[in-house]
Structure 1
Amino acid sequence: MISSHLFLICCLLFIASSTAQTRPKGIILPVTKDPSTLQYITELKQRTPLVPVKLAVDLGGQFLWVDCDKGYTTTSYIPSRCNSASCSLSKAGSCLTECYSPSRPGCTNNTCMLFPENQYAPIATSGTLGSDVLSVPSAFGGPPVTISKFLFVCGTTFLLENLSSGVTGMAGLGRTKVSLPSQFFAAFSFKKKFGVCLSSTSSKGAIFFGEFDSSTAPLTYTPLLTNPVSTAGVYTAGEASTEYFIGVKSININQKPVKLNATLLAINATDGYGGTKISSVDKYTTLEASIYNAVTNAFVKELNVPTVPSVKPFGACFSAKNIGTLYTGPDVPTIDLVLQSKDVYWRIYGGNSMVRVNNNVWCLGFVDGGVNSRTSIVIGGYQVEENLLEIDFAASKLGFSPLLYRKQICANYNFQAKS
């Protein structure tokens, strides 16, 4: 009987042994912000022959999924057969025993099934696990590197609803053994951490893997928490969330505490409600209704300028002529998400808190998530932009930088390798 430890090694070797070339120093996936949808888009190459594939970035997503119904042509696809090592690695809980269409990627008999999800719609459906060739850019001017058996899930065309033009899938970066980070870690023997730097402009930000030096943007660290109840659209009982949660204890505005229902800030161990997660799918930070009202009222009080009619989806808006400008963006009160102690906080400056909705109006870029929301605080993409994030799988911690407007924006950040 093979031991569980040996079985896991065999699973990882399935990925790692598929890479034949010299180990790169790092990998950088370019990320652009689509101007119409505000989605964060990356591109890699897949299949034989290789073709460019545009993907929406899902920071907490479980795996890479791609539409296999339309235009998926390759000679190197390998279905993951039921009860195989790759199915166990992915924790697939069901099996497609018979497909009633001609065999092709996404429709092969005796193939294990997972559930690709598009949170922008939001919709989820069943899909089949398989592997194919994947090519990604290496860092520091090196040649592209290839993984010959990269695991992914075949989705269907209707899953592309509400995604940016030309996007044919989603790149999941969450806490699973078949997400992009985990497969890159195994294939290239990288340390189990990766970085995210989203640009607020049309220029490219980056998601990077390997040993990079972040000393030019010193990081503050906070533990990553596990929500014991999955936040996916489809999941089985007892399955934990793959998204990245952190422990916000309180919120300060201009360093003054905001009165909140503190129980909403903790994750309920029974139903998984509450807590704080980081998302690349939510455009703006979303707050449970009572938290939103408390934060908005405190912000308006501290800013102390007249409000103007709100502009959806925002509630608190102000005349631009009443707000000055600093090097960190609009001159408005700072918002601190206080973490494990009063001395550890994620400070949100005007550059990340305020949205210019037109020439005359600034709005506080926070959205009302309604009562009884699934997650009490969702830190959205706009608030993540121009902050360097380091997600450390091994140590289960998040590193985050001060706002990079102080030095270089993400589009120009110099991701140097450690010597």
Structure 2
Amino acid sequence: MEGKTISLSFLLLSLLAISVSSTSLQYHTLLLHSLPLTQLQSLDFDAQLLSGDGSDLDPDNTLSLQLHHVDLVSPSSFNATPHALFKLRLQRDAYRAKAISDLASANATLGRRAGKPHAGGRDFSSSVVSGLSQGSGEYFTRIGVGTPSKYVYMVLDTGSDVVWIQCSPCKKCYTQSDPVFDPSKSSSFLGVACGSPLCRRLDSGSCNRKKCLYQVSYGDGSFTVGDFSTETLTFRGTRVNNVALGCGHDNEGLFVGAAGLLGLGRGRLSFPTQAGRRFGRKFSYCLVDRSASSKPSYLVFGESAVSRTAVFTPLVKNPKLDTFYYVELTGFSVGGARVPAIRPSLFKLDAAGDGGVIVDSGTSVTRLTRPAYVALRDAFRMGAKDLKRAPDFSLFDTCFDLSGKTEVKVPTVVMHFRGADVSLPASNYLIPVDSDGTFCFAFAGTMSGLSIIGNIQQQGFRVVFDLAGNRLGFAPRGCA
């Protein structure tokens, strides 16, 4: 065996070490080890991350913020059981997947906003953390807002274009990890005038006393309403000025933990677009291991975002919907063999803008159009026929009882995109769902024509969005 070990603790319950046979690509070997919760709780918190005073820059002038698992900065989350957090996460994930599918099928557009591009010559980046312990399947980044900067967690979301943050005074605000932002204490906060070109770019905007107001509603019933403004965002000491920002005074629904949302969509009003051609045209992230790893990773904007080890596939343009990142998925291999029933036509984006495949940072579980999922699932079941089956769990219909085992062999899974083959680590498709040794195949079917590559499958890869080159890339082991 070639010794390459990858750690996983999806629910802080176990670690998976993965090694690939040098003579066969058909199986991964999973070694299961116990990891007591008390071991995780004794980890030291990163005081610099908590204070947000990470002003040091990388030697190549890349602006970056560290990526950590949110368990390192949310010790109160240990009061909830991992099982309860996981149930909540899957519920929120189902709402999100349905909302995205509904939006795509309606050929609508998400709320968007724009601002002046950042003036400067350096690449920049921010940290990203998993929102798992907050009951969220999303990932958080820590960014400074205002002048002086107040550091807060914001959700990374490639499935929307809106940048917004909770603001005081609150008509209604949900509970967040950091103090609610007070715009009256920021010298760089500036409201947008009603009728201005920037205000007119909002899909859902209105006016009140000559002030521009925004409203963003999500498919799960959540919404944010408030003043449309421009503000300064700070990424580890590098300031991005005049970012169009929703200052939300009424924020209700299934939002969890973070202070707001950093829209990373493809639309003209997203943050990558606002950041300017030099920076916003290229960005990447690596979604950290869901164990409470202390190793950092980064959300990077600029030339440094493009990994040299990435394999690339072309981005596909949906003429009816500009927010999502569509790619051409052509099939899957399981155990080293192509699944013949999964044809490229199952993932085709048609001329009307229906169907297709998107890569989304905010959806956890990958959804495949039902015929493709059934074929993939059946091929995996056949390859894992020697493993003891367990009852279904939530949306997962292929689960295994691995209790009492120290290692198991599971079939390899490869996603085939046009021009790029992405081999998944076993920890990206066979995940623990309870403390009793139950592991489930982390894919799901959907009756929608739209398929979504979720963040469980993206974990550990640096995912590169090269808008200038109209391509999307995957670099394995990209979180270091």
Q: TM class, shorter-chain normalised?
A: 0.7 to 0.9
Q: Does 1:193 find its partner at 2:282?
A: yes
CA distance in 2, matches of 1:279, 1:289: 19
Q: Does 1:309 find its partner at 2:391?
A: yes
Spell out the pairing of 1:212-227 with structure 2 (5 A cutoff).
212=304, 218-227=309-318
What displacement does 1:94 show?
5.8
SS at match of 1:299: helix
CA distance in 1, matches of 2:393, 2:244: 43
Whether the 8 Å contact between 1:25 and 1:211 is mirrored in structure 2 is no
* Match for residue 149 of structure 1 among 242, 259, 280: 242
CA-atom RMSD in angstroms:
2.8
Q: For residue 15 of structure 1, what is the aligned residue in structure 2?
A: 116
Q: Does 1:380 find its partner at 2:454?
A: yes
Residue type of the partner of 1:149? N
SS at match of 2:411: coil
Tell me the alpha carbon deviations over residues 8-45 of structure 1, each in whole angstroms, 9 at most, x when there is no partner.
xxx99x624x75xxx36332211111233232111211
What displacement does 1:72 show?
4.2
CA distance in 2, matches of 1:246, 1:392: 13
Distance 1:337 1:57, change over 3 A: same
* Match for residue 349 of structure 1 among 402, 421, 425: 425
Whether the 8 Å contact between 1:96 and 1:109 is mirrored in structure 2 is no
* Match for residue 25 of structure 1 among 110, 116, 122: 122
Tell me the alpha carbon deviations over residues 192-213 of structure 1, each in whole angstroms, 9 at most, x when there is no partner.
2011111013344321112227
Q: Does 1:395 find its partner at 2:473?
A: no
Q: Does 1:74 find its partner at 2:183?
A: yes
* Match for residue 168 of structure 1 among 259, 263, 277: 259
CA distance in 1, matches of 2:232, 2:314: 35
CA distance in 1, matches of 2:340, 2:332: 6
Q: For residue 50 of structure 2, what is the aligned residue in structure 1?
A: none
CA distance in 1, matches of 2:151, 2:403: 45
Whether the 8 Å contact between 2:367 and 2:454 is mirrored in structure 1 is yes
Whether the 8 Å contact between 1:48 and 1:74 is mirrored in structure 2 is no
What displacement does 1:315 show?
1.1
What displacement does 1:175 show?
1.1
CA distance in 2, matches of 1:319, 1:149: 53
What displacement does 1:387 show?
0.6
Residue type of the partner of 1:301? M
Residue type of the partner of 1:116? V
Tell me the alpha carbon deviations over residues 119-177 of structure 1, each in whole angstroms, 9 at most, x when there is no partner.
6x45346655320122221xxxxxx0223321112334334x32222x22111111123
Distance 1:178 1:86, change over 3 A: same
Distance 1:117 1:264, change over 3 A: farther
Q: For residue 445 of structure 2, what is the aligned residue in structure 1?
A: 368
Spell out the pairing of 1:98-117 with structure 2 (5 A cutoff).
99=208, 109-111=210-212, 113=214, 115-117=215-217
Unaligned runs of 5+ in 1: 1-10, 100-107, 138-143, 230-239, 414-419
* Match for residue 270 of structure 2 among 149, 156, 179: 179
CA distance in 1, matches of 2:234, 2:456: 29
CA distance in 2, matches of 1:51, 1:213: 25
CA distance in 2, matches of 1:283, 1:134: 27
TM-score (structure 1 length as normaliser): 0.74
CA distance in 2, matches of 1:220, 1:308: 36
Whether the 8 Å contact between 1:116 and 1:153 is mirrored in structure 2 is no
* Match for residue 39 of structure 1 among 138, 141, 144: 138
How many residues align? The count is 347
Tell me the alpha carbon deviations over residues 230-261 of structure 1, each in whole angstroms, 9 at most, x when there is no partner.
xxxxxxxxxx2311110012222222224136
What displacement does 1:180 show?
2.0
Residue type of the partner of 2:288? S
Unaligned runs of 5+ in 2: 1-112, 171-179
Distance 1:277 1:126, change over 3 A: same
Whether the 8 Å contact between 2:355 and 2:449 is mirrored in structure 1 is yes
CA distance in 2, matches of 1:60, 1:227: 14
Q: Does 1:338 find its partner at 2:416?
A: yes
Whether the 8 Å contact between 1:197 and 1:207 is mirrored in structure 2 is yes
* Match for residue 150 of structure 2 among 44, 51, 67: 51
CA distance in 1, matches of 2:202, 2:458: 32
Q: For residue 338 of structure 2, what is the aligned residue in structure 1?
A: 256
Tell me the alpha carbon deviations over residues 366-412 of structure 1, each in whole angstroms, 9 at most, x when there is no partner.
1233x2x151x21111111101111011111001123x1xxxx61xx
What displacement does 1:340 show?
1.8
Q: Which moved more, 1:260-269 or 1:25-34?
A: 260-269
Residue type of the partner of 1:162? L
**Percentage of pairs with the same residue:** 23
SS at match of 1:15: coil
Distance 1:132 1:364, change over 3 A: same
* Match for residue 266 of structure 1 among 348, 368, 375: 348
Residue type of the partner of 2:299? I
Q: For residue 96 of structure 1, what is the aligned residue in structure 2?
A: 206
Residue type of the partner of 1:35? L
Whether the 8 Å contact between 1:195 and 1:208 is mirrored in structure 2 is yes
Q: For residue 417 of structure 1, what is the aligned residue in structure 2?
A: none
SS at match of 1:116: strand
CA distance in 1, matches of 2:311, 2:239: 34
CA distance in 1, matches of 2:230, 2:306: 33
SS at match of 2:165: strand
CA distance in 1, matches of 2:369, 2:458: 19
CA distance in 1, matches of 2:404, 2:341: 27
Whether the 8 Å contact between 1:15 and 1:149 is mirrored in structure 2 is yes
Q: For residue 283 of structure 1, what is the aligned residue in structure 2?
A: 364
CA distance in 2, matches of 1:303, 1:275: 29
CA distance in 2, matches of 1:130, 1:386: 35
What displacement does 1:85 show?
3.9
CA distance in 2, matches of 1:367, 1:205: 28
CA distance in 2, matches of 1:42, 1:182: 18
Q: For residue 208 of structure 1, what is the aligned residue in structure 2?
A: 300
Distance 1:260 1:363, change over 3 A: same
Distance 1:401 1:128, change over 3 A: same
Distance 1:60 1:364, change over 3 A: same
* Match for residue 132 of structure 1 among 217, 222, 231: 231
